[in-house]
Amino acid sequence: MKLTKLLTSAAVALGLATTAMADTTKVGFVYVGPVGDGGWTYEHDKGRQAVEAKFGDKVETTFVESVPEGADAERVITQMALQGADLIFTTSFGYMDPTINVAKKFPKVKFEHATGYKQADNVSVYSARFYEGRAVQGHIAGHMSKTNKVGYIASFPIPEVIRGINSAYIHAKKVNPDIEFSVIWAYTWFDPAKEADAAKALIEQGADVILQHTDSTAPQAAAQAAGNVITFGQASDMGEYAPFPRVSSIIDDWAPYYVARTQAVMDGTWESVSTWDGIGAGMVGIGEISDAVPADVKASALALKESLADGSYHAFTGPLNKQDGSAWLAEGETAADYGDNGLAGLNFYVEGITAEIPN
Amino acid sequence: MDLSAINPVLLIASLMVAATPLLLAAIGELVVERAGVLNLGVEGMMIIGAIAGFAISVETTSPMLGLVAAMIAGAVLSLLFAFLTQFALANQVASGLALTLFGLGLSALMGQSYVGVKPPAMAKLDIPVLSDIPVLGPILFSHDPVLYIGIALTGAVFWFLKKSRGGLILRAVGESHDAAHALGYNVIRVRILAIMFGGACAGLGGAYISLIRVPQWTEGMTAGIGWIALALVVFASWKPWRVLLGAYLFGGINVLQLNLQAAGIAIPVEYLAMSPYLITILVLVIMSADKSGAPASLGRTFHASQ
């Protein structure tokens, strides 16, 4: 008798506990680098902090940093779901399949995967049109380069990175027909020593503009040591290297999206969506263009930014050919987001880039 | 493809820089393992050295003090490992792994206020006249002092292990701690000293990354070099000059493959990216065909009563 009573009260207590818990919304974040990387993960964590600041006690956020892409990610995401997370943001391309796999096992948990393309009933995808920012960088790079050589530190050969290289190249070429791009694939998102070595190799071979699609500030330091090389902040402002070598930056602003999605879960209005916003919606910001850039270049770069923001200009506007010379976009045609040759699955360089994309 | 864009002189000079942290960490671990202790905490000690060296040199504006602090920090952290394995007789593999995890976490905590700070620059050892010699000058005579310390240390460790009485005792401890104990040598003391030496070297290697090679502090910035150092010691069959060769090979091919990529050579990037690992392992495995094995007591715990 006593045992039953004990069990009942335990059950009641447990019930009470769960209802008390239900008031707080648990939001989990999975990061690919450390929160102190000064770039990609740093900005995602700022988004997480914005969620905490906005909802206070009503929300409980957790995060796991430096999670390798692949099987380990699946374990981490599963663990978060098991611990009762209501909403989980997985913030790197390589978490795509793990997120989908875990989402199947936890139909009641909402998932949000960044920069991927696989959606499900409880998995939204969201990304930013970084290539719009790359267009502005390419424009400045084309004007500023004296050696006509731009070095590009790329991470992995995925559509997001290839879009960036294409966009930067197109807009550099537009203002400087002699421009050449050298691309190094680092096969990492975050490895300061390797990123520094890659930057040094590019600089030693004559590049005087370094663009990076990796997350640490190491290339900035390498450019600073070289003395006559300009760089751009990646994912975060990297303003500590302004005004020189860092002359501008692409800033990811995830906070409004994270707040809105958390709100949707609280209100019970969350639906699986595909979000892809750019400069116009504020998801991509252009960091201050420093005084190292001549005033007329700065003005034309800002004009380009405005035209991208209000939609009057698309970063991929024809005529554009693929690298092999075959036609991609006709005169005045703009690239579609999805479908064959669409931006979401972009896997080729535009005409003029001499390097090859690794398979 | 434009191979002429690669300047071989600059290439060799920068491969020496890329190889130095690996060399420092590996030469320290070599001494530890020759004393019969397997410390898997190299990565943790490196990253602690990286942040300690960075923090001290920022605060004091002296890179030299930073390097000294990094060595002390690495050695202090290794004492934790020494206590666990030599007095508490804990499993060395588990303790080493714990040390790495602890080091990574602690460094992130210590480094919070140093993200984005720039360290004072380390002056290069520009030897007048000598550094102006074409070709040889930039390669041999215009580096930072730590790079030369790395090479000198390799020679010193070689001499110590091969020629000195202390080295003989250390090797005896590593080969058979029971025999060394029976001869009256203090096995625990020898091992603790070796562990501390390994910690100091790893710390210096870490600080080399954060102060000279990159130079800045970011969390997790050693990015696995400690693990490569551990593997290097094994593939170099516990011989100092082979460690030097392996480190230069690995660092060199790494820098070379980045340069080849930048020059747009028509080798698939995947092959280039794996080449440092493949070639280093291949060369060292072929060299170690003479069957020189691991120290016989490697990884075994010692207690005088057993």
Residue B2, pLDDT above cutoff 70: no
State yes or no: pLDDT of A12 exceeds 60: no
Phi, psi of A180, deg, nearest 5: -130, 145
- pLDDT level of residue B150 (50, 70, 90 thresholds): very high
Q: Where are the alpha helices (DSSP H) in chain B?
A: 8-34, 42-60, 63-82, 92-110, 136-140, 145-163, 165-175, 177-182, 187-208, 225-235, 240-262, 269-287
Q: Which residues of B touch A193 (CB under 8 A)?
A: 18, 21, 209, 213-214, 221-223, 225
Compute how many other C-beta atoms are within 10 angstroms of the C-beta atom of residue A133: 30
Q: Mark which residues 23-82 of A lie under 8 Å from B by CB.
A: 33-38, 66
pLDDT confidence of residue B141: 74
The confidence score (pLDDT) of residue B291 equals 65
Name the residue in chain A with its Cα closest to that of B6: A205
Nearest CA in chain A to B210: A193
pLDDT at A178: 93
Range scoring the smallest mean pLDDT among A35-44, A82-91, A179-188, B67-76: A35-44
User: Is the Cβ pair B259, A201 closer than 8 Å?
Assistant: yes
What pLDDT band is residue A176 in, cutting at 50, 70 and 90? Answer: very high
- What is the SS3 assignment for A300-320? HHHHHHHHHHCCCCCCCECCE
B214 touches chain A (CB under 8 A): yes
The pLDDT value given to residue A212? 93
Position B237 scores a pLDDT of 87
Domain ranges of chain B: 3-121+144-290
Which range among B222-231, B256-265, B290-299 has the greatest average pLDDT?
B222-231
- Chain B: residue whose CA lies nearest to A152: B262
Question: How far B258 CA lies from chain A's nearest CA (Å)?
Answer: 6
Angstroms from A43 CA to nearest CA on chain B:
14
> Would you call A35 and B219 a contact, using CB atoms and an 8 Å cutoff?
yes
B293 pLDDT above the threshold of 70: yes
Looking at CA atoms only, how far is residue B96 from chain A in angstroms?
20
Residue range A336-351: average pLDDT? 85
Residue A210 pLDDT > 90:
yes
Q: Decide which of A110 and B266 is more confident.
A: A110
**Cβ separation A192–B269 shorter than 8 A:** no
For chain A, what percent of residues have pLDDT higher than 90?
Answer: 53
- How does A274-289 read in b/e, with b if 16+ C-beta sit within 10 Å? ebbbbbeeebbbbbbb
CB contact (8 A) between residue B262 and residue A151: yes
- Taken as a whole, chain A contains a residue count of 359
Q: Looking at the complex, does the CB of residue A92 fall below 8 Å from at least one CB of chain B? A: no
Q: Do A205 and B5 touch (CB under 8 A)?
A: yes
Task: Give B3-121+144-290's CATH code, choosing from 1.20.1070, 1.20.1300, 1.10.3470, 3.40.50.
Answer: 1.10.3470
User: CA separation (Å) from A157 to A94, A162, A356, B10, B269?
Assistant: 12, 7, 10, 28, 10
Instruction: Kindly report the pTM of this predicted structure.
Output: 0.80
> Mean pLDDT over residues B145-172, rounded?
94
Q: What is the dihedral of CA A202, A208, A211, A217, to 10 degrees?
A: 80
Which range among A3-7, A37-41, A351-355, B57-61 shows the weakest confidence by mean pLDDT? Answer: A3-7
User: What's residue A3's pLDDT?
Assistant: 54
* pLDDT at residue number B205: 95
**Could you give all domains of chain A from N- to C-terminal order, each with its CATH number?**
2-129+254-277 (3.40.50.2300), 130-251+284-345 (3.40.50.2300)
Q: For tokens 């970084």, what's the residue?
A: A130
* Mean pLDDT on A11-16: 48
Q: Does A188 touch chain B (CB under 8 A)?
A: yes
From the list A36, A201, A216, which residue is nearest B108 (CB)? Answer: A36
Chain B residues in contact with A191 by the CB 8 A cut-off are: 223-224
What angle is formed at CA B173 by the lines to CA B167 and CA B177, rounded to 5 degrees?
170
Judge: A204–B7 Cβ closer than 8 Å, yes or no. yes
Residue B275: how many CB atoms within 10 A of its CB?
16
Tell me, yes or no, if A355 comes closer than 8 A to chain B by beta carbon: yes
The pLDDT assigned to A19 comes to 45
CB-nearest to B225 from A193, A196, A200 is: A193
Instruction: Give CA–CA dist A75/A108, Å, rounded.
Output: 18
Out of A183, A194, A217, the one facing B216 most closely (by C-beta) is A217
What digits encode the pLDDT tens for the residues B45-90? 999 999 999 999 999 988 899 999 999 999 999 999 999 999 999 9
Q: Chain A partners of B18 at a C-beta cutoff of 8 Å? A: 193, 197
